[in-house]
Structures are given as C-alpha cells and as structure tokens.
Amino acid sequence: MDWPKAKSFIIIALLVTDLVLGGALLGPRLKEDRAEREAADNIRMYLEEQGAELDCELPSYSRRLPVLFVSFGAQGSQPSISGLSVSGGALEYKGIPVVVEGGSSELPVVDSVGASKGDIRPSAYAAAELAGDLLAGSDGDLSGLRISDVYLVYWLYNNGSDASDTAFPYWCFDTDEYLYYVSAYYE
C-alpha cells in the first residue's frame, strides 16, 4: 500500500468533511442573522410610520445570559464571581451594567449567577413590543418618541428592602423623556 498517497487522500477527505459540516452549522446562523437584520429594518420603518424617531441602531446579541441573584444591605465586598466588576461606582457583569430602580440607592451585592442561561432576543423584537405597549396607551401614534440609544442591561426594581432579588437581562430604550425597559429573554 502506498502510505503517502493514502495519507494525502485521508487528509483531503477530512478537509472536505470539515467544510461540509462547517457549512451545515454556519448556514442556519447566517439565515438567522439575515432574518434579524430584516426584522430590525422592518421595525425601524414601522416606528417611523407611527411618528417615532430612531437615532441609533437596533443591536442584536446572539448570546445566552444568566440571571443575577443580588442582595441589598449586605455588609462586605462583592464576592469573587467571574465577569463581575465595579467600574466608576457602577456594577457590571461581563460589561453589562446592573441597573437598580426603586427604593435602594446602594450598590447591590451579587450573591451568585444563575446556573442556566437564557437566549437573548434581538432588540428589534423588544422594540416591537415596546411600540405595541406605547400604542395601546396612546391615540395610536408615537409622535414625539425619539429613541437615542438601545443597550443591554441587567435590571431590577427594589422596593427598598434588604431582601434578595433577581436581576434579569433587559433591553433599555433611552428616549428624550424616559428609559424604557423591555425583557431581553424570549417569552
């Protein structure tokens, strides 16, 4: 048997197999990316038709994020959790800020990170949900709504108690008047 030829044949067969498998894995992802871009374009046009202005891109994060289990009023420092940082007096998990609204003005302590992770939906889907909610509470138009930024945060509302709570990923829509938070998890 001619081993150098056999070795070359096996290497070529493995490379072709890798290309086929790579295409099978990459194809659906490219299709999903295209669908997300089309959804972002469609919601942008819809918002503009309803009188809203969108001065930013609608980001899409194809990632999975856990929830954060936090507590308030705890003494001591943040536990050593991978990806957790305090930057400029703000708490972040893997670069995503933790936003606390409500009664507590103190920085929460992250006790632990959820064991399972949820898929993050594109912000275009959250923008459509926000538009629907705003239209339901208005006269059927979004005139005057100007969205200047859209970004991912961990959000929770604290009623001022020292109890533990859970921060979930949310899309934050920064407008001239308010910050709107819409769940980033698929529902």
Q: Which pLDDT tens digit goes with each residue over 32-79?
A: 778 878 888 888 898 888 888 888 888 877 788 999 988 876 655 666
Q: Which pLDDT tens digit goes with each residue over 138-152?
A: 766 788 889 999 999
Q: Is the pLDDT of residue 80 over 70?
A: yes
Q: Quote the DSSP letter at residue 17.
A: H
Task: Annotate 56-96 with DSSP letters as a single string.
Answer: S-------EE--EEEESS--S-----TTEEEETTEEEETTE
Residue 155's pLDDT is 92
Hey, what are 21's tokens? 């498998």
Amino acid identity for residue 44 in this structure: R
Residue 150's pLDDT is 93
Residue 173's pLDDT is 94
156 DSSP β-pair partners: 100
Q: What is the pTM (predicted TM-score) of this model?
A: 0.78
Hey, what are 143's tokens? 């005139």
Percent residues over pLDDT 70 in the chain: 91
Q: Which pLDDT tens digit goes with each residue over 150-181?
A: 999 999 887 777 678 888 999 999 998 889 99
Query: Contact 115/105 with Cβ under 8 angstroms?
Result: no
Residue 104's pLDDT is 64
Mean pLDDT of the chain: 83
Residue 73's pLDDT is 67
Residue 162's pLDDT is 65
